[in-house]
Amino acid sequence: MVQPCPAKIGDTLDDVVTPALIVDLDAYERNLGTMAALVERAGLRLRPHAKTHKSPEIALAQMARGAVGACCQKLSEAEILAQGGVGDILIANQVVGAVKAVRAATLAQRVRLALCVDHPRNVEELSTAARTLEASIDVLVEIDVGNRRCGLPPGGSAVALAERVAAAPGLRFLGLQAYHGGAQHIRDFRERRAAVRQAAEQTLRTVEALEAAGLDCETVTGGGTGTLLHDIEAGALNELQAGSYVFMDADYGRNLAEDGTAETRFESALFVLATVMSHPNPQRAVLDAGLKALAMDSGPPLLKGVPGATYTRASDEHGVLDLERENLLAHGQRVLLIPGHCDPTVNLYDWYVGVRRGRVEQVWPVAARGALA
């Protein structure tokens, strides 16, 4: 069941039931504006990744600022975005199996839908479903440019699969998916740029090979928040999929700018509000936010505005803080935590609580929470 909303419009942070997912609306809106201006100057298309926020409301806010649509990772996410009014969706992933192919073709009857392939069998499944339902699906061939996950090697094998897509009834060859996820978290600026340039070279060679085979690459999509400036500079992509910029998290905050300082182009806008539920001694406090409130795959959260307090240990429902001095926190005090990884943290909640200057101004459902299929 959907959990009751932890807050109502007009509440203060002290009124919000914790743990709760908080959006600083001012920082969030500045992030939207910063990205929109940057992409417009670069002359590129922005298709923000909705796996970060799982929210049609946020996707539509991004589109109102110039984004061409949304991308997501799962078919179920795409279905929920479509229900919420998003009409142009890329599933930046493979949709495999006859049952899902029919769902994809059904969705393509309502919205412009694109998805990725890297295997001939998947092309056949999608074509059969699209032909049966008289739908049209845009298809990108995914190439592996260093992520070592999905995707064919750049070059000839990608061209051969693209030719199969172009010849398949119900499908339209759209271009390439060329995403290097590992590069997003290379901390050093120059190393990160080098990884992106190498990926861009492989992508451009594949585009040239496709053109030589008579196939036009209308869309070359990929990139992310961590490599944003490098993706623009490299010139291989005409569509950017950055998503985490809208919220940021502690992990992306560890990426360095060219001068060796922390990258601060985008602000932390997403927090978990927690309460000090126990304060057994002056050196330790315990929060009501543990593993079921925060994703820990990219490390523990950071505390906003409480220097000297470190989140050191999590169990299911408890988060332990080490305190450098006495009287740093009080029993019952509220604290804001910057998640280590925003995407899976969002997936733990049913509601966003949007706050401006200490007051709740918006509440939005995390509509695609748990949308795994």
Average pLDDT, the chain: 97
178 phi/psi in degrees, rounded to 5 = -135, 80
Task: Supply angle C-alpha 2, 356, 52, rounded to 5.
Answer: 50
* Percentage of the chain modeled with pLDDT above 90: 98
CA distances from 18 to 95, 219, 343, 363 (A): 37, 43, 19, 15
Reduced 3-state DSSP string for 211-246: HHCCCCCCEEEECCHHHHHHHHHHCCCCEECCCHHH
Residue 229: other Cβ atoms inside 10 A: 18
Phi, psi of 234 (to 5 degrees): -70, -30
Distances (CA, A) of 70 to 47, 59, 82: 5, 6, 10
Inter-residue contact 370 to 77 (CB < 8 Å): no
Q: By three-state DSSP, how is residue 107 classified?
A: helix
Contact 367, 86 (CB under 8 A): no
* CB-based contact 283:246 (threshold 8 Å): no
Structure-token pair, residue 227:
């490599």
Instruction: Report whether 340 contacts 289 (CB < 8 A).
Output: no
In angstroms, rounded to a whole number, what is the distance separating the alpha carbons of residues 287 and 291?
Answer: 11
Which pLDDT belongs to residue 3? 85
Q: What is this structure's pTM?
A: 0.96
> How large is the average pLDDT for residues 93-100?
98
Indicate the residue type of 69: G
Read off the pLDDT of residues 304-359 as tens digits, 9 standing for 90 and up. Answer: 999 999 999 999 999 999 999 998 999 999 999 999 999 999 999 999 999 999 99
CB 95 within 8 A of CB 101: yes
How much is the average pLDDT of 172-183?
97
Tens digit of pLDDT for each residue in 259-283? Answer: 999 988 999 999 999 999 999 999 9
Per-residue pLDDT, 202: 98
Identify whether the C-beta of residue 184 lies closer than 8 Å to the C-beta of residue 136: no
What value does the mean pLDDT take over residues 189-209?
Answer: 98
Segment 11-62, tens digit of pLDDT: 999 999 999 999 999 999 999 999 999 999 999 999 999 999 999 999 999 9
CB atoms within 10 A of CB 239: 22
Q: What are the tens digits of pLDDT across the range 98-142?
A: 999 999 999 999 999 999 999 999 999 999 999 999 999 999 999
The answer on pLDDT for 1 being more than 80 is no
Task: For residue 89, name the pLDDT band (cuts at 50, 70, 90).
Answer: very high
Q: How confident is the model at residue 2 (pLDDT cuts 50, 70, 90)?
A: confident
DSSP secondary-structure letter at 2? P
Share of the chain above pLDDT 70, in %: 100
